[in-house]
A and B are shown apart, each in its own frame.
Chain A
Amino acid sequence: MSVQKDYDELGLKVGLEIHQQLDTKKLFCGCPSDMVEEEDRTVLRNLRPTESELGEVDKAALMEAQKGLKFRYQAPEGSSCLVELDEEPPAGPDEEALDLALTMALFMNAEIMDEIHFMRKIVIDGSNTTGFQRTGLIAMNGTLEVNGKEIGIPTMCLEEDAARSIEEKDGEKVFRLDRLGIPLVEIATDPDISSPEEAKEVAQNIGALFRSTKSVKRGIGSIREDLNVSIEEGARVEMKGVQELDMLPEYVEKEVDRQIKLLEIKEILEERNAEIVDKIYDVTEEFEGCESGIIQGSLNKGNGVYAVKLKGFDGQLRGDEGEALLGPELADYAKKTGVAGIFHSDELPKFGITDKEVKVVKKKLEIEEKDAFALVTESEENSRDALRKVIERAEMALKGVPEETRQAQPDGTSSFLRPLSGEARMYPETDIPPKQVERERLKRLDEELPERPEEKIERFQKEYGLNEQQSEQLFKKGYDVLFERLVERYGSPSVITNTFLHTYPDLKKEGYELENINEEDLERMFKRFDAGEFAKEGIPDLLQEVAEGRSVKEALKSAGLETVSEEDIREEVIDLIEDRSDFVEEREMGAVGPLMGVLMKELKGKADGEKISKILREEIQKRI
C-alpha cells in the first residue's frame, strides 16, 4: 500500500527539535567534552521523584520511578568531575558555548533574552545524575527560510547533554558520565513542516547553519533530532532520538501510518461497541500441564498466569496477514512495569500454548465472538501491574491515538517510551546566577558572524569552480568545512568534490562503513595524492580499504596503488610497444588510444592518466 499519501489532506504537521553538541568545554564545569572508552570508578544512585505543590509527582516521572531501577554511573576522570557526579555545584555557563548559542540566534533573527535564567527540568530516568537537566532559554521567535518557505523557530535553548546509556543489567541501568554536561543547543521549530521530505530539508538546513560556526561536534550522535508528528484526527506524538538525518522522512511516514491504523481500529471498535472490562482473572489453574516452555518455566518459579478480557477487540491486536496492530502497543505499555511481554488471543495458539488452553481461558473469561484477551505470566503483583497497563492502553484505543513520547528505533519504527509529559516541570537552577547578555557582546558576535550558508554556497562556486548543485550538495551533506580545509592544503577541488559527492555514496551503497574513514585519513590520502603518489582513479579502491579498517599507508599497499615511478611507467610502455610493435608501426600515433586503454587497466590508479599518455606518445614518437 505504498500509494503516495496526500499529506495535505491528512493534515500532517511536523515540528522538529534539533540538539547539536558544541565542541567546547562542558557547559557547567571545566571538563573537556570528549567521549572516552574507560569506565573508571563507578557510583550507584537512586532518584526519587520530588513532589510538586500539589503533593503529586509528575505523571511521566512517576512511571519511571515505578520501575524501581538503580543507576550506576561510570565516571571517567579525564572527562567528568564532581559536577557530573552531582557532588559539586555547577559553575559556568561556558562562555564559548554561550557565544555559539547566541550566534545561532543571530543567524535566525531571533529575539535574544536580556537575561538568561537556567532552569532545572525534572528528568528521573537516570540520564542525569541530578534528576534534572539544566537548560536555559536563549532566544525566541526566530525564523528559517527553507525552499522559499518560512519555518518558525519559537525557542532556542542552551542545555546540558545527558549521560550516555551503556547497558542495563542486574536491575541496574548503567550510564557513562563523559557525555553528561556537553553543551547542546536545542532548536525547536513550529509544526510548519507538512511533508516527510520537508522534515529532512529543514533539519539539513539547521545542521548546515550549525556547522558554519565551525565549533560543533561531528559524527554519530553529535546531532539528534526529536520529531513531533500529528495528523488531523490523530494526536501529537513526540519521537525521541533520531540520529540519522536521512531517516527522518521514514520516521514521519511510519508514524503517519501508525496513526491512520489506530484511527481505523478506533472506528471498528466503535462499531462493535467495544468496551473495557476492568477485571484481572487468575487463570493459573487453566494452564496446569501446559506444554509451553515459557509458561512452564514461569509456573515453576512460583508465578501464575493472569488474563484480561478485551471486549470487542478480536482481530485488532494482530491483522489477518500477521501485521502488527494493537498488540505491540499493549505490550509496550505492559513492558514498562518490567514484564517481558504479553500473549494475546490474535496470536494464539502459538508458543506452545495450544487450542485447548485458549478454549478454557475463553470459557473462564466468557469470551464471545468479537472479544479478545491478553495474558501475562509473572508473579501475581507484577502480572496485575502489567495487565492494568494493558487495560489502560486498550481504553485509549477506543479514543484513537494517545499522545505519547516514543523512542525512534533503528529500523524506522518507534516504540512507546512514556506518556507525553505535559508541561515540563521546571524550577530555577539556584546554583547558577542569571546571565546577562550585554549589548556589547551581541555587537561583537554580530560582527564576527560566520559566513551564512547561502553566501558560502555562492563563494564555493566562484572560488573553486564548482557548479551550484555541487556547491549546495557539499553543504547539505555537511562536507563543506572539511572540503575547504582539504582544498586549501592540497588543491584539486573537483577531485575532492567528486570524492564526497560520488565516491562516498557509491561506497555506502556497496555496504562500506563510511564512519571508519575519518578526517585524518582523508588528510593523509589527499596529501599523498597531491604529491602524485597515486592517481585520482585510485581513490575509490583506496577508500574501500580504509573503510575496512586499514590505514592509508596499508591501504595503498593492499589496493595495489603503491607509487609507480616514471621509469617504471616508461618500462611498462616500452614493453607494451615492443609487444605490439606491428600494431604501432601500422597505426603510428593512432595506436595511442587503444594502447592507453591497456595501460590504464594495468596501471590502474597507480599513475596519473595524463602522465601515462605523455610517456606513451614520447615512446611511440621514438619508433616512427
Chain B
Amino acid sequence: MVQREALLKDAKPGDRLKIKKDEETYEGVLMPIHRFSGEDIITLKLDNGYNVGIKADKNTEVELIRKSEEEAKRKEKKIDIDESKSTISILGTGGTIASYVEYRTGAVHPAQTADDLLFSNPEIAERCRPKVEVLFSKLSEEMRPEDWVTIADRVIELFQEGSEGVIISHGTDTMGYTAAALSFLLEGLSKPVVLVGSQRSSDRPSSDAHLNLLAAVEMAKSDHPGVYVVMHESMSDKKCAVHKGTKVRKMHTSRRDAFESINDEPVGFVDPETGEVDIEERPKKGEDENIKRKGSMEEKVSLLYANPGLTEEDIKHARSKEGIVIAGTGLGHMPTDLIPALEEIIDEGLPVVMTSQCLYGTVNGHVYSAGRELKEAGVIFAGDMLPETAMVKLMWALTLDEDVEKVMKQNIAGEYTERRIR
C-alpha cells in the first residue's frame, strides 16, 4: 500500500513520466487515478494513445520527464447569428447534451457555456436565433423539486424577454418528472416549452444528442403551446417523437427511444433533417404573454410501491409527509390488511392518491372489493395518470389554496386521457 503515493510524490495528472519496473520502461502521461483501478496502479497514457495500468511496487522507479503543459485553449470559433430568425432560448440544466473530450487526459467536459453548446451544434444557428444559457449543471438524479420551480421561473422570464420557444436540456433519468412539474407550474402558456436530452452522451460520434436537439429547435419554433419531451422515436436516427409532458415516461434504461407516451399517443413527430413538424392542431391558450407561475412544489410527498411484502410500518413511515401516492397493483390495489392504517392517515388529513404500477390502463375502484374498500377509506383514484405524474401533481396541488382532491381529479395539463386505444 501507498507505494503509488510515495512514488508519485508531487507528480500531477498530465505530467510526463518514465516508469521503470523490472526490465521494462514505460513512458507516457500520468492519468488521474481510476476509481475502479486496483491497488497501487499507476495509469499512464502511452504515446500510442493507449492507457495502461502499471502496478507500483518496491522495484518500481518513477522519473518525472516534464511537468504538465498548459491545457490547450479551444479555438475560438465564431458562430454567425441571424437576427431575423425567431428567438429560441436554450436553457441548460445538466445532462450530456453537449460535451467534448479532452483526448490528452480522456476527460469529458460538459458544455459549460452557450458557446460550448453552439460550437458542437453549429446547425442550430442555421435554424433559429439561439439564446443559450446554462441555468445549472446537475445530473438528472441530483434534481430536486425546488429546481423545477427555479426552471419554471426562468422559463417565464425568457418568454417575457421575447423568446418564441424555450428548450430545456436535461438529464434523461428524471426528465419526465420535470416535464410534468412544468406542465402544472406554467399557467397561461402560449408557446412551446421543450425538454430534450440524450441517451448516448454527446462526446460519442453516435450520440443522439444532436438529432434530438435539432428536433427540439423545430418543435420550439412551432406554435404549439405546451410542455413537451422531444426524443428519438425509434432506434434509428430519423424522426423524433413529441410527447406530452404529463404522459411521458422513460421506459428503457439505455435505448435511444426510451421515452414513450403512456396511455396516449405522441403528440406528433419531427423530422430534424427536413425540419418538418407533424403535429395535430392543439388549442392555443391565449395570444398574450400572461404566462405566470401557478403554485409551487411541496417536497413532502411519498410514492409507495404496493407489493405483497408491504407492511403497516411502511404506511406509518409516510405519516410525516404531506401526501402519499401509491403505485398500486393491477387496477389500483394493495394488501387489504393495510387499509385500516391507510384510513387512519387519511382521517388525519393526508391526501392519498392511487395509481397503477401497470402503467398501462386506468385504475378502477369499483371492480373488486379491495378497490371499493380503498375508495370508501377516502383514497383518490387517479385514472390513467402515471404514478410519477400523480406524485408531481400532488406536490403541486398541496401548495395551492384549493381543495386537493378536486385539483387531483381535474384534468389540468392532459394528465388524464379520456379514451385509451391501446
Q: Show the binding face of A for B, using Cβ within 8 Å.
A: 43-56, 61, 70, 82, 85-89, 111, 113-117, 119-122, 124, 129-132, 135-137, 140-141, 155, 157, 423-428, 430, 433-434, 436
- Flag if A130 contacts B204 (CB, 8 Å): yes
A121 to B101, CA, bound (A): 12
A114 to B72, CA, bound (A): 31
- Flag if A53 contacts B49 (CB, 8 Å): no
- Flag if A131 contacts B205 (CB, 8 Å): yes
Given the known interface contacts A87-B235, A113-B53, the answer about A434 and B205 at a Cβ–Cβ threshold of 8 Å is no
Q: Say yes or no: is B255 at the interface (Cβ < 8 Å to chain A).
A: yes
CB closest chain-A residue, reference B205:
A131
CB closest chain-B residue, reference A426:
B49
- Flag if B106 contacts A44 (CB, 8 Å): no
**Nearest 8 A/B pairs, CB to CB:** A131-B205, A115-B53, A433-B36, A426-B49, A114-B55, A137-B50, A117-B51, A44-B236
Type the 1/0 row for B133-164, where 1 means its CB is closer than 8 Å to any CB of A: 00000000000000000000000000000000
Question: Among the listed A88, A427, A434, which residue makes an inter-chain contact with B53, where contact means beta carbons less than 8 Å apart?
Answer: A434
Given contacts A114-B41, A428-B51, A434-B37, 16 further A-B contacts (CB under 8 A): A48-B210, A51-B100, A52-B101, A52-B102, A53-B74, A53-B103, A53-B104, A85-B235, A88-B253, A116-B52, A117-B43, A117-B50, A137-B46, A137-B52, A434-B41, A436-B41
Q: Which residues from chain A contact B23 at a C-beta distance below 8 Å? A: 111
B265 to chain A, nearest CB (A): 22
Q: Show the binding face of B for A, using Cβ within 8 Å.
A: 23-24, 34, 36-38, 41, 43, 46-55, 71-72, 74-75, 77, 100-104, 106, 108, 119-120, 200, 202-207, 210-211, 234-238, 253-256
- Flag if B103 contacts A86 (CB, 8 Å): no
CB closest chain-B residue, reference A141:
B24
Q: Which residues from chain B contact A54 at a C-beta distance below 8 Å? A: 72, 74-75
Most chain B beta-carbon contacts within 10 A, residue among A124, A129, A131: A131
A87 to B202, CA, bound (A): 14
- Flag if A47 contacts B101 (CB, 8 Å): no
Would you list 13 pairs from A and B whose C-beta atoms are within 8 A, ordered by A residue? Answer: A45-B206, A45-B237, A50-B100, A50-B205, A53-B104, A56-B75, A113-B52, A113-B54, A115-B53, A428-B51, A434-B36, A434-B38, A436-B37
A159 to B400, CA, bound (A): 58
Q: Which residues from chain B contact A155 at a C-beta distance below 8 Å? A: 48, 50
- Flag if A115 contacts B41 (CB, 8 Å): yes
B397 to chain A, nearest CB (A): 37
Question: Among the listed A46, A70, A86, A119, which residue makes an inter-chain contact with B49, where contact means beta carbons less than 8 Å apart?
Answer: A119
A89 to B253, CA, bound (A): 10
Q: Which residues from chain B contact A122 at a C-beta distance below 8 Å? A: 205
A422 to B205, CA, bound (A): 19
A62 to chain B, nearest CB (A): 12
Most chain A beta-carbon contacts within 10 A, residue among B43, B51, B211: B51
- Flag if A82 contacts B237 (CB, 8 Å): no
Q: Which residues from chain B contact A424 at a C-beta distance below 8 Å? A: 48-49
CB closest chain-A residue, reference B210:
A48
A121 to B41, CA, bound (A): 23
A136 to B52, CA, bound (A): 8
Q: Which residues from chain A contact B100 at a C-beta distance below 8 Å? A: 50-53, 55
